[in-house]
Amino acid sequence: MKREIIAGLTTFFTMSYILVVNPAILSACGMPKEGVLFATAVSSAIATFLMGVYAELPFALAPGMGLNAYFSYTVCLQKGISWHTALTAVFVEGVIFLIMALFGLRKAILESIPKNMAYGISAGIGLFITLIGLKNAKLVESSKETLLKVGDLKSPEALITLLTLIFIAFLVKRGVKGSLLMGILFATGLGALFGKVNPPASFVGLPRPTCAFQLDFSSIVDLTIVPVVLTFLAVDVFDTVGTLSALCTRLGIPLSDKRVGRALTCDAVGTTIGGLLGTSTVTTYVESATGVAAGGKSGITAITVSLLFLLSLFLYPLIAVIPTFATSPVLIYVGFFMAQSLKKIDWENFTEAFPAFITFVGIPFTFSISEGIGLGFLFFFSLKFLNALYKRF
């Protein structure tokens, strides 16, 4: 029991940065930070508790990085879709994923997904997140001549981000648990010295669920929302399966284990609940590997993480004062982490590697996850078709 609880503490402090980062990203499209924080903590707690009780696995769930950026920057800001409609798309995607999980449809779809494309998507989302972090930190800015240029490196935001990145890199190298959360706190402390942080009104309080049950089903019949739902579903499937595969390998259980199927169900339920409460897609976190490494083997680890997410609600006044730029170093580091999937691409297979590369560069350069994925699959199917046609004739 002691080992499982310690593993739960390890996992929570490794992934708790999402409590700060998710509200910062989703508030960019007009969602109130207070409501997003409530939705983030509660949906993560429910989904993770279900993972511990139903799937009996030591894995934790929370709103996924990349999907929250797609929700805010592409769906809402770029496409002009309201966040109410975007939440409805998340809810619908969660219901579809749940049906797939319950009736076994996920297996057929998962087997048809090209692995190299999945790696390209993951790396592309990582670069996209990094770009957002650099922009929020004022390290890069737009330019008419060169599209992008170096920002004001003398600004407090840029200096704090660079110093915090070095700090996080040092902690990660030393294997310190909760390095990203410590980085956020370090950046916030530096921000206070520069006069960029307002002191909290109190130390304990509860956020209001201002984003809960704000779905807009009247616009879901609009055909323009269909690609959004499909993109949420596709990226959710890629992310979930890739993460579960890595975690199960680390834990030493086969993907054919019935608990893995139950884990997919937990993931789908988490997304559905997240949409209702007011956050983007909830998914299994690869940071759960830190808990597994600390000795977590059962659902008790996940239950511990769940309870910690609920307790974090009471720290809302302290979390609310953390400035957006304090999350920039974390976004950059997460981008680095996701970009490591590039090494798994089969670069010798041109018809697989080139579409993956197009996806990788297409996502950040179009500033759209859906359009980047669309470009990648367009090249993938075109090359495969032409290659098969050439061999036939």
Per-residue pLDDT of 339-359, as tens digits, reads 888 998 999 999 999 999 999
DSSP per-residue codes, 83-103: HHHHHHHHHHHHHHHHHHHHH
Closest Cα to residue 301, out of 340, 238, 241, 250? 250
Q: What is the structure's pLDDT at 112?
A: 64
User: Out of 131-140, 242-251, 255-264, which region has the weakest mean confidence (pLDDT)?
Assistant: 242-251
Domain-wise residue ranges, the chain = 2-392
CA distance 33 to 187: 19
Look up residue 182 and give its amino acid: M
Please check the confidence at residue 87 and state whether its pLDDT lies above 90: yes
Instruction: Please give the residue that has the higher pLDDT: either 131 or 10.
Output: 131
Task: Tell me the average pLDDT across 180-203.
Answer: 87
Question: Where are the alpha helices (H) located in 62-155, listed in sequence order?
Answer: 67-69, 83-103, 105-112, 115-136
Q: Tell me, what's the pLDDT at 368?
A: 74
